[in-house]
Structure 1
Amino acid sequence: MRLPSRPLQAAALASAATLLTGCFAATGQGSGAPGERIRVTMMNPPRSGLSPLSDDAFKLSRWSTAETLVTLDANGDPRPALATSWRQNGRTWSFTVRDGVTFHDGSPLTAKAVAHSLTKAATASPKPRILDGVDLAVTASGRTVTVTTATADPLVPQRLSSPQLSILSAKAYRGKTVSPVGTGTGAFRLTDVDGTSSAALDRYDGYWGTKAKAPGIDVTFVPDGTARAAALRSGEADIVEAIPVSQAALLDQELITEVPMPRTNTLYLNTAKGPFKNPGLRAAARRAIDAAAIAQGVYEGRADVARGLLGPALPWAAALRAERERTEPKRAAATAPGGAAITIGTFTDRAELPEVAQTLQQHLQRAGFTVKLEVREYANIESDALAGEFDAFILSRATVLDSGDPAAYLYSDFASRGSFNIAQLADPTVDKALDKAAATKAGDARRRAVMAAEAAVLATDAAIPMVHERVVQGDAPGVVGAEHDPRERLLVTPATYVK
């Protein structure tokens, strides 16, 4: 049974919270009957005009409007999409482009069109994040696209699964701008974007795959978490992403789903200078932290206690970690802190982190440390964190980046040459394990190499994983087939509709 009709909802909500109702002017006209447009409320508005070369690309993927050559399965292994097959020959990968596909502007998907789109991404300034440090050249012949990298790269198919490398028609590219409006290949055609407030999509009846069940999608961007929760509670939205933990308990629990995220709340310890240069004090900090108290107290039970850097969003990690525990490198013995003074930094942009910092302060002070906190906005603290200006830093870190492979995250954060090495770690054993993981062919062997690298990092106590975060998604009564995707690449698919 659906919630009351829109006019009644609006009147009821206006009497209780007039300010919130103004955020949700629905563009679709549903009545609860089959064939209703899907009303989606999202947290972050577009930052780059929905350019697929930015993080906005993940919105395009979640709306099933822009597609890539390759998709990923639950384990992060590549599967066909706009490409039906591929093969590697040294530095060169050849992809066969799917036949019978048209862009939303009616033009056909060809190898030449794919090469044009990928070349635009590879030569963009700045490059899409997935291509950081990667040089590639793309050519087309017949229905084959050839991708050549400067060095052999076992992750090319996974890289091409990134929404930032979505394939758009030639009309999308005008000078330095890229517009996905009417230029994708997905089940829904993007028809309108109203700045940072809303977007509209219609079903694309020429879609190469299964035709979408819903006639369209109406998207509203609402940064305020309380307002997003109110939209679900009042029936103003059918699907609501990223409901804050503080609001989740106030909602009908049958309407919400907790999705494990590939995101770990981690305490990074400065191994280069200060008290935590001492491995014994790092071990003392690890022993002092009660991760279960953080999961229950700060996250109200809506987070998982971390056993490692990689969490339940990667279903293979726990079993492979158990295999390694019998031979895991021995950690240093704890040293009594003796009042050692430390400064912990974190940021306000994620609402839970300042509270996590306060909880950690209590844990570490009880263990004998003297703890000072420094909390700022992320934009004002990142450079100091990367420069090693703090003894410790609390970070909510995505462990699976755009390729769907955690080796990139581990290398970035813990290799001596890593670009995001907040722990200032320079450990030959860790570097060796990370290099092996990066060079191993995708599949089971690579996953085992990744877990060996995780074990090497944890043995140093340079990072103390605390909790794996979850995201709370709301689906109104009558919503069928909404995706709950840990990688946040899927949300509305051709199978999604409102009864």
Structure 2
Amino acid sequence: MRALLPFVLVPALLASGCFAGDPAADAGPGDGRIKLAMLQPPRSGLSPFSDDAFKLSRWSTAETLVTLDADGNARPGLATDWQRTSDRSWEFTIRGGVTFHDGTALTPAAVVNTLRRATAASPKPRILDGVDLTAEARENSVVVTTGEQDPLVPHRLSSPQLAILAERAYADDGRVDPVGTGTGPFRLVAVNGTTTATLDRFDGYWGEEARAAGIDVSFVPDGTARAAAVRSGEAHIAEAVPVSQAALLDPATLTEVPMPRTNTLYLNTRSGPFLDAGLRAAAREAIDADEIVRGVYEGRADVAEGLLGPALPWAAEGRAPLADRTAPAPPNGAAITLATFSDRAELPEVASVVQQRLEDAGFTVTQVVREYAHIEQDALAGRFDAFILSRATVLDSGDPVAYLRSDFTCDGSFNLSGLCDPAVDELVGAAGRAEAGEARRAAILAAEAAVLRTDAAVPMLHERVIQGDATSVVDSAKDPRERVLVTAATHLR
């Protein structure tokens, strides 16, 4: 029961006005602190080697060597420039005058320490799946070498999972503590388990000083509670406002952005009924994505034509129709377990619609819904026949290859469907080796087509991020990649 307390207590917190330091009492510009309601609590103690890294990034407390612009191009971060010195090596010049939040200086040795810790982590950060990477410190630079030619090393180093922290952040037992060890405009000063986090402005920041005095974070898995927090003044910013709550908010407080996130039905190819390609095809044919977009998302999503959606316009422009698809086989009452998680408010409703359509097609369906923290391990272990996941497709490097590798290759670290297909592995590998530009995009689409032909994953829709900002908030980030939220420029009127 203990792990469920943050979820259970949220309505009571809202009712009592005790939300993350009672922002209703200090929501004005006098204090200048941003009150933030976030979707998911930390899963791994805010370790940057996990998906918790994106919280550190969205709070502008941990920074990377490289950043990405709106078009996904690599731009300077803690590295001021870089050059390719051989087929497998890149040299990054480290920015001078940068101080970690603990008062130590950013040096090439500190960068190398982070990268070596990341490569030795178990599990590895997802961005390093299938990557043999070493780092060597020079006087003012770091040389990064990969086992194979990798044209996207700068993009890879933009991943929040490779944020550079002070050396004292890393314990000998593999744990990482980001409290007071980042370089960003906000210093993480306290974390209260899975309930709250507190950040203060860092006056020694190397860049533009933060305009807000700090950030008070509350983790609020309940979507209704997050939306209510903005309506009531309990929060200034709420991420991932559920579609069902959007209509209840003042339109002036809502921003809707197409994002590289796909709602996908993963089918277990390791065991159970979906070992049969014909039954996977039957499941694919049973799904009515348009029904889900209209009914569950109230039109605030896009029907999927593939794994990659409208946030990547080149995918829609270059994708060819799939031919030679497996013919559906009659389910004949095949019993399957369909699972999803409750943290994203729409997913249980999506699961109900999918269950109905699968039953109409002849399957016998049992549904399982839990919070993500309590279902991920079972999903990765293949204990469900089908799993509905809302999945970011370019979260790590601004490039879909990392997603395709982790989710659909034999050695992928997030392979929910258990897919292990030599043709898929070969094409994903080819995409990873291709140079940036048109050739790489064509290779990515070929790999996507190979995955779709297996029917191990049935893409249903592409989500749009709906963010709630109080009218007092100025310059919060609306980031399709969900890397940035509160920046140095974000403040209250």
TM tier, shorter chain? 0.7 to 0.9
Mapped partners of 1:415, 1:98: distance in 2: 37
Question: 2:451 is paired with a residue of what secondary structure?
Answer: helix
Mapped partners of 1:347, 1:208: distance in 2: 43
Partner of 2:117: 120
2:428 counterpart (434, 439, 453): 434
Following superposition, the deviation at residue 97 of structure 1 comes to 0.8
Mapped partners of 1:303, 1:145: distance in 2: 42
Question: 1:316 is paired with a residue of what secondary structure?
Answer: helix
Identity score, percent = 62
Answer yes or no: is 1:41 the counterpart of 2:37: yes
The one-character-per-residue Cα deviations of 1:41-69 (angstroms, maximum 9, x if unpaired) are 22333344433333332222111121110
Does the CA contact (< 8 Å) of 2:46 and 2:52 recur in 1? Answer: yes
Question: 1:266 is paired with a residue of what secondary structure?
Answer: strand
Following superposition, the deviation at residue 256 of structure 1 comes to 1.8
Mapped partners of 1:216, 1:391: distance in 2: 45
TM-score by length of structure 2 reads: 0.85
Mapped partners of 1:457, 1:415: distance in 2: 9
CA RMSD of aligned residues (A): 3.1
Mapped partners of 2:295, 2:255: distance in 1: 20
TM-score by length of structure 1 reads: 0.84
Mapped partners of 2:210, 2:14: distance in 1: 35
**Unaligned segments of structure 1, at least 5 residues:** 1-15
Partner of 2:236: 238
When Rg is computed on C-alpha atoms for both structures, the one with the higher figure is: 1
Mapped partners of 2:480, 2:439: distance in 1: 23
Does the CA contact (< 8 Å) of 2:243 and 2:346 recur in 1? Answer: no
The one-character-per-residue Cα deviations of 1:169-190 (angstroms, maximum 9, x if unpaired) are 2343454443333332212223
Mapped partners of 1:426, 1:31: distance in 2: 52
Question: 2:99 is paired with a residue of what secondary structure?
Answer: coil
Partner of 2:69: 73
Mapped partners of 1:142, 1:202: distance in 2: 32
Mapped partners of 1:34, 1:380: distance in 2: 40
Mapped partners of 2:71, 2:162: distance in 1: 20
Answer yes or no: is 1:399 the counterpart of 2:393: yes
Question: 1:345 is paired with a residue of what secondary structure?
Answer: strand
2:472 counterpart (456, 461, 478): 478
Answer yes or no: is 1:146 the counterpart of 2:146: no
One-letter code aligned to 1:287: E
Partner of 1:215: 213
Following superposition, the deviation at residue 283 of structure 1 comes to 4.2
Partner of 2:292: 294
Number of residues of Structure 1 aligned to a counterpart in Structure 2:
478
Alpha-carbon distance change, 339 to 20 in structure 1, aligned in 2, over 3 angstroms: farther
Does the CA contact (< 8 Å) of 1:24 and 1:231 recur in 2? Answer: no
Mapped partners of 2:413, 2:72: distance in 1: 23
Does the CA contact (< 8 Å) of 1:344 and 1:394 recur in 2? Answer: no
One-letter code aligned to 2:488: P
Mapped partners of 1:380, 1:153: distance in 2: 36
Does the CA contact (< 8 Å) of 1:241 and 1:474 recur in 2? Answer: yes
**More displaced 10-residue stretch of structure 1: 472-481 or 81-90:** 81-90
The one-character-per-residue Cα deviations of 1:84-119 (angstroms, maximum 9, x if unpaired) are 222231332211111232223343322222222322
Following superposition, the deviation at residue 454 of structure 1 comes to 1.1
Partner of 2:6: none
Following superposition, the deviation at residue 33 of structure 1 comes to 3.9
Does the CA contact (< 8 Å) of 1:228 and 1:240 recur in 2? Answer: yes
One-letter code aligned to 1:341: A
Question: 2:432 is paired with a residue of what secondary structure?
Answer: helix
The one-character-per-residue Cα deviations of 1:222-281 (angstroms, maximum 9, x if unpaired) are 333332222111112111112233322222222122333432222234557776566555
Mapped partners of 1:475, 1:300: distance in 2: 21
Alpha-carbon distance change, 119 to 316 in structure 1, aligned in 2, over 3 angstroms: same
Partner of 1:8: none
One-letter code aligned to 1:373: T
Question: 2:336 is paired with a residue of what secondary structure?
Answer: strand
Mapped partners of 2:55, 2:379: distance in 1: 29
The aligned runs of 1:39-438 (5 Å cut-off) are 39-88=35-84, 89-176=86-173, 177-270=175-268, 282-321=280-319, 324-325=320-321, 328-334=322-328, 337=330, 339=332, 341-350=334-343, 351-366=345-360, 368-377=361-370, 392-438=386-432
Alpha-carbon distance change, 374 to 381 in structure 1, aligned in 2, over 3 angstroms: farther
Alpha-carbon distance change, 256 to 179 in structure 1, aligned in 2, over 3 angstroms: same
The one-character-per-residue Cα deviations of 1:3-56 (angstroms, maximum 9, x if unpaired) are xxxxxxxxxxxxx98735223424798563477222212233334443333333
Mapped partners of 2:332, 2:298: distance in 1: 31
Does the CA contact (< 8 Å) of 2:64 and 2:157 recur in 1? Answer: yes
